[in-house]
Amino acid sequence: MNNHQHPNTQNELSKMEKDQSYGIFRHIDEMNLFFSFPKNSSWHLQQIKQFLTEQGVCFEKVRDRYFQKRVYRRIKWLEKKDCEKYYSFLRKSEEEINWFKGTISDHILAISEVKNIPKAFQKSLENDRNNFNLLLVLFKSAGLDLDNYREHYLQHRVLNRISKLKMSNLSAYISYVKTHPEEIHNFVGSLAINTTKFFRNKSVWVYLESQLFPFLNIQSQNETKSLTNKSIRILSAPCSSGEEPYSIAMIHEKLCSKGIVHRPLEIVALDIDIDAINKAQTAFYGRSSINHLDPYYTSQFFHFESLHPKTKEKLFGLSSEITRKVKFFNYNLFESLERFGKFDVIFCRNFLIYISKEREFDVLKHLISVLNPGGFLNIGKSETIDLSLDFGLKIKDIASNTFQTLKL
């Protein structure tokens, strides 16, 4: 790996201008990417934005810098050379339009939690460096190391907790943390943005159902008879409150009932938030969580259980044929995953965008180390992987953002 690729190089870039939508430019290749496009690209950028708006993409809460970076990275990724060629490609590709819809909607979701906090209050946190650093030291002394996360993301998490506790400033929150040890646990829970739902991002599930599961089933027939009865192993991390792993399990059960897939399924689901894990294990979901589902899934796999004790909302439980496919663990993704064995498919969606570039590199190494040769890795719509790094990956499906490891 050369100096232009390693995430720990070019420390001086940390002093570059901050982009409030994404964080600090840390890679020299990102800087080269941003400044390598000719100044006359602005007209084509406007055309791209206008076209996407006509296709239903809402840019109201999206900064121009964030939009430009997404376009430039796609141009580099798809090797389209410039904005004009990318614009021509975009107008002819429904998959690329859907990719942009997904990445913009995910970005808006990621910042939506602080939309009701006054801007002056947010600015005061950014300027109150001494107290913010003191808070980080306080968390670290309690055993919570936050060095792995982007600073801008941590600021949003702190603002979220201050807002929920109805406090007026950072000093008040620090005093509260000192006198309420349980707040450490609550803050850990806030690190996971539990904005999730069943079958989030349609292209991911279309690819899993139409391509991945049938491929893994055929693979077993092509190799050895003994593999036919061996479980397909899938990792879902972070799994939040269980919607993602249960979506995987429902598709598998559907394909099994149609005779398309014969191999059993084992899903390992990990999350750092113990409250989210507990909710996932109960497998109870409100009407609002399932009313968007295909009637096939609601009729086959959900049944009325009870009323929520506080809200009186109807709670629907998942059938045991789905829940038995998933094993949940409270686990930190910054640690090695070797204890969980090898996997055929890994879902790690909308996590990399919240952690530092250095730790993103480490997490990807952990994930790929537990992928079987030829295994698949799916990441979020707004996330990318630099294929020039020595990960041994190739892009398999652009629409769903799925990669495949090279077979040894």
Q: Any residues with CB less than 8 A from the CB of 102 and at least 6 apart, and which?
A: 201, 203, 381, 382
Cα–Cα distance measured from residue 283 to residue 318, given in angstroms and rounded to the nearest whole number: 6
Cα–Cα distance measured from residue 378 to residue 381, given in angstroms and rounded to the nearest whole number: 9
Q: How far is CA 212 from each of CA 208, 259, 403, rounded to the nearest angstrom?
A: 5, 15, 12
Please give the structure tokens belonging to residue 201. 């991002």
According to the model, what pLDDT value does residue 25 have?
A: 32
Pairing of strands 18-19, 393-397: unpaired
Quick one: which of 383, 323, 318 has its CA closest to 350?
Answer: 383
**φ and ψ at 25, to 5 degrees?**
-65, 120
Residue 405, classed as helix, strand or coil, is strand
Neighbours of 407 (CB within 10 A): 9
**Contact at 8 Å (CB) between 265 and 231?**
yes
- Gyration radius of the chain's alpha carbons: 22
- Which position has the token pair 């049938």? 214
Strand residue runs (E) in 204-357: 232-236, 265-271, 284-286, 302-307, 314-318, 326-330, 343-348
| Amino acid identity at 248 | I
Cα–Cα distance measured from residue 22 to residue 151, given in angstroms and rounded to the nearest whole number: 10
How many alpha carbons fall within 13 Å on the CB side of residue 289?
23
**Contact at 8 Å (CB) between 238 and 270?**
yes
DSSP structure class, residue 212: I
Return the domain boundaries, the chain: 11-113, 128-190, 202-283+323-405
The correct answer on CATH 2.130.10.10 for the domain covering 202-283+323-405 is: no
Cα–Cα distance measured from residue 385 to residue 364, given in angstroms and rounded to the nearest whole number: 9
According to the model, what pLDDT value does residue 109 have?
A: 59
Pairing of strands 302-307, 314-318: antiparallel
pLDDT string in tens for the chain (408-residue length): 333 333 333 333 333 333 322 332 333 344 444 444 555 567 788 889 888 888 888 887 788 878 888 888 788 777 777 888 888 888 888 778 877 877 777 666 555 544 555 555 556 665 677 888 889 889 888 888 787 787 777 887 888 888 888 887 888 899 999 999 889 888 877 776 556 789 988 899 999 999 999 999 987 555 555 555 789 999 999 999 999 999 999 999 999 999 999 999 999 999 988 888 999 999 999 888 898 899 999 999 999 888 777 777 789 999 999 999 999 999 999 899 999 999 999 999 988 878 887 888 899 999 999 999 999 999 988 788 877 777 889 989 988 999 999 865
DSSP structure class, residue 319: P
Cα–Cα distance measured from residue 359 to residue 361, given in angstroms and rounded to the nearest whole number: 5
